[in-house]
């Protein structure tokens, strides 16, 4: 069994490692490639990203993800390979190995694995099939390590709610009793085991299916549509309910520096193992997740401002009184900004809010999960073009659960080529 050092000593050790790596870069900068590697007359392109993040233990589980690890203690190694067979056909694979600097547990699997087809060379239209990025939202269209000015994730893409696709609450009281415990929760209908719930949108897994993308000649209008096996909150490799998700996104670029997007998605949320067990029967398609989103980005000079709104709702069976007769809703709003103060050095901040609709239980009405707020501020510095070191401070507040307030300092080193 691996024995872990006290969290204060572990945090200090990793921060020291980051500082040592920063100093050593002066002597070794020429050894780290600053661009993707190309082979066979540019038909094969290899890229990679490595990041290590250090932070104290998240005792309130505010930053836990659907891989049962904290986003503030993440270590990731990723390699992306693109193979162009001809002008019409190419293949792309991204393999990631991830671990937690505190737990020592690692996992590895393909994050993206797809074939890309361009039927017409004179039109900006393509099809992708395989494990693909979703046709939804603005955050997932950017690289996390490089394009995220901070270290934490927006709440909509990371925070775990108390909903599960393989287990159900019998009534409203059952759901209300578990407010603020999305990192480890369980119910009496369906799977008997206890595990984490789902976020509104998972930033750590891609879904499996087909995606189409079209862009106008001026690139001022972009359209995306996809059909996949899972939902935004629960991406799947294999279908487990026979009812696919349909998603679409429209992106407008009316002015230089301004990007605005609208997204929508609908897909069956519950697994067949749960719906088959219901006494009244029912099809998986009746219990769907519906999600709407809007995002905007504006950049000018040294400043970039982004905002994203997401609303998701889940329909669950009404089993016993007090029954869950209405869809369970959740909304999120994230606003962030970044400003470059000097070449290679920037400051950034993000304000986040996640709220839940109200349900009526035996002892009154309350949001079905505990509302969450987050403030994060920090800075970053490019040691060389493709090496960034970041530091941030994060404050979290939750209207329920065992830990209601928590704050963390974090440091991150990102390298890519």
Domains and CATH numbers, the chain: 57-73+119-416 (2.40.160)
Q: What is the mean pLDDT of residues 161-187?
A: 95
Q: What is the mean pLDDT of residues 170-178?
A: 95
Angle at 314 between CA 184 and CA 166, to 5 degrees: 45
**105 confidence band (pLDDT: 50, 70, 90):** low
Query: How far apart (Å, rounded) are the C-alpha atoms in residues 248 and 212?
Result: 9
Residue 307: its pLDDT value, please?
98
Q: Which of these, 278, 264, 261, 267, lies nearest to 240 by C-alpha position? A: 267
pTM score over 0.85: yes
Residue 31: its pLDDT value, please?
52
Q: What is the mean pLDDT of residues 397-415?
A: 95
Residue 14 has pLDDT above 70, yes or no: no
Whether the Cβ atoms of residue 199 and residue 159 lie closer than 8 Å to each other: yes
Query: How far apart (Å, rounded) are the C-alpha atoms in residues 222 and 216?
Result: 6
Residue 7 has pLDDT above 70, yes or no: no
Residue 263: its pLDDT value, please?
98
**30 confidence band (pLDDT: 50, 70, 90):** very low
**315 confidence band (pLDDT: 50, 70, 90):** very high
| Number of neighbouring beta carbons within 10 Å of residue 284 | 21
Query: How far apart (Å, rounded) are the C-alpha atoms in residues 367 and 360?
Result: 9
Q: What is the mean pLDDT of residues 276-290?
A: 76
Query: How far apart (Å, rounded) are the C-alpha atoms in residues 312 and 181?
Result: 19
Share of residues in the chain with pLDDT > 70 (%) = 89
Across the chain, what does the average pLDDT equal?
89
Q: What is the mean pLDDT of residues 82-92?
A: 96
Residue 147: its pLDDT value, please?
84
| pLDDT tens by residue, 247-280 | 999 999 999 999 999 999 999 999 988 877 676 6
Share of residues in the chain with pLDDT > 90 (%) = 74
Residue 27 has pLDDT above 50, yes or no: no
Residue 41 has pLDDT above 80, yes or no: yes
Q: What is the mean pLDDT of residues 56-66?
A: 93
């Amino acid at each position: 069994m691996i024995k872990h050092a006290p969290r204060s000593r572990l945090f200090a050790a990793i921060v020291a490692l980051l500082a040592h790596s920063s100093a050593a870069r002066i002597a070794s900068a020429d050894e780290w490639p600053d661009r993707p590697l190309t082979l066979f007359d540019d038909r094969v392109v290899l890229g990679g990203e490595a990041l290590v993040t250090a932070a104290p233990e998240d005792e309130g589980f505010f930053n836990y993800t659907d891989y049962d690890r904290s986003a503030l203690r993440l270590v990731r190694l990723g390699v992306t390979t693109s193979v162009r067979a001809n002008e019409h056909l190419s293949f792309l694979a991204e393999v990631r190995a991830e671990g937690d600097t505190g737990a020592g547990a690692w996992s590895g699997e393909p994050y993206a694995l797809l074939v890309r087809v361009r039927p017409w060379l004179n039109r900006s239209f393509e099809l992708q099939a395989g494990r693909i990025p979703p046709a939804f939202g603005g955050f997932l269209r950017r690289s996390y390590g490089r394009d995220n000015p901070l270290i934490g994730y927006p709440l909509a893409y990371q925070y775990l709610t108390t909903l599960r696709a393989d287990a159900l609450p019998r009534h409203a009281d059952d759901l209300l009793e578990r407010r603020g415990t999305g990192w480890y929760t369980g119910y009496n209908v369906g799977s008997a085991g206890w595990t984490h719930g789902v976020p509104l949108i998972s930033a750590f897994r891609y879904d499996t299916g087909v995606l189409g993308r079209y862009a106008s000649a001026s690139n001022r209008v972009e359209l995306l549509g996809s059909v996949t096996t899972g939902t935004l909150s629960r991406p799947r490799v294999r279908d487990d309910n026979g009812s696919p998700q349909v998603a679409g996104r429209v992106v407008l670029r009316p002015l230089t520096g301004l990007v605005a997007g609208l997204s929508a998605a609908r897909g069956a949320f519950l697994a067949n193992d749960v719906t088959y067990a219901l006494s009244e029967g029912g099809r998986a398609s009746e219990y769907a997740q519906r999600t709407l989103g809007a995002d905007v980005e504006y950049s000018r000079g040294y400043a970039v401002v982004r905002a994203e709104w997401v609303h998701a709702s889940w329909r669950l069976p009404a089993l016993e009184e007090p029954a869950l007769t209405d869809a369970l809703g959740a909304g999120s709003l994230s606003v962030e900004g970044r400003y470059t103060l000097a070449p290679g050095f920037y400051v950034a901040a993000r304000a986040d809010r996640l709220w839940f609709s109200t349900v009526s239980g035996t002892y009154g009405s309350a949001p079905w999960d505990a509302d969450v707020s987050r403030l994060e501020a920090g800075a970053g510095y490019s040691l060389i073009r493709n090496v960034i070191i970041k530091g941030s401070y994060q404050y979290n507040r939750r209207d329920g659960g065992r830990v209601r307030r928590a704050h963390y300092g974090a440091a991150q080193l990102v390298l890519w080529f």
